[in-house]
Amino acid sequence: MSQRVNESIEVQAPVAEVYRYWSNFENFPKFMQNVEEVCMTGQDTSHWKVKGPLGKSVQFDARTTEMNPERGIGWNTEDGEVMTSGEAKFEEVAPDRTRIEVTMNYADPPGGKVGEVAANILSNPEKNMKEDLENFARIVESGEMGGAGEQTPSH
């Protein structure tokens, strides 16, 4: 059965900083407990490696469908063992305070071993997302994400 998870949190940080940190998907393993690695494979494509059951990893490719500070970030899984889509929205609720709302849609898991993997990953998605957002809040509120003007060096 397909699932939809929606969670939100408010963080004590400016919306521009929150968006900047979240929009770098390679930061996700720092705050998402099930994400092991994210590699950008193109301007709007990425390859994800997430924790599955029994210490196994599950991999998939995703396409970013929206990347706009005013509207948020959207994505769809294009190929892989877990099919998801979703969006993250960022709203300034006060100066230096941002509300983050995340919606994730998980497609029906296929049958067989892959279906078991997907079912295990989705065993408690609400709890996982709530914990991930709390981890994100700790990072942005503690200043662990680096200076606001920090840029990745270009080569």
Q: Which CATH superfamily is domain 3-142 in?
A: START domain (3.30.530.20)
Quick: pLDDT tens for 39-85. 999 999 999 998 876 778 888 999 999 999 888 999 999 988 778 89
pTM of the model: 0.81
d(CA 94, CA 143): 18
Quick: pLDDT tens for 83-121. 889 999 999 999 999 999 999 987 765 544 555 555 555
3-state DSSP call for residue 149? coil
